Structure 1
Amino acid sequence: MLSWSLLFLVIAIIAAVLGFSGIAGTAAGIAKILFVVFLVIWIISLIAGRR
């Protein structure tokens, strides 16, 4: 999951450098959502692992 968010972050940076603002914004939004999902799953597994 973290690798997917990093991939979309790289796509957003490349698109922003090339001037594709719509694609860059969309890719950055997807990267943020995937990162939050990754954090939630990580926290849940951390709590479940302690039990």
Structure 2
Amino acid sequence: MSLAQSKRLSQLTADNAQWEDRQLLRSGAVRGTEVQTEFDDEDERKVILLVHGTSL
């Protein structure tokens, strides 16, 4: 694959990813595409999972 073909494929891939993100945002399936990397301890919530034994 030549350098020009590689650049073209990279641009097509980036364009496709942007289009998919826009479609997800418009449909309401997601609210944003940014990842939260900082978390506050105050926002931490605990989940308790109770599992009852089942016999097979």
Q: What TM-score do the two structures reach when normalised by structure 1? A: 0.53
Distance (whole Å) between structure 2 residues aligned to residue 22 and residue 35 of structure 1: 20
- Return the index of the structure with the highest Cα Rg: 2
Runs of 4+ in 1 over 4 A off after TM superposition: none
Of structures 1 and 2, the one with the larger relative CO (CA 8 A, separation 6+) is 1
Q: Specify which of 21, 28, 39 is matched with residue 40 of structure 1.
A: 21
TM-align CA RMSD: 1.6
Aligned ranges for residues 16-31 of structure 1 at < 5 Å? 21-31=2-12
Determine what percentage of the aligned residue pairs are the same residue: 7
Bigger share in helix: 1
Q: What TM-score do the two structures reach when normalised by structure 2? A: 0.48
Distance (whole Å) between structure 2 residues aligned to residue 24 and residue 41 of structure 1: 26
Distance (whole Å) between structure 1 residues aligned to residue 9 and residue 15 of structure 2: 10
Unpaired runs of at least 5, structure 2: 30-56
Aligned length: 29
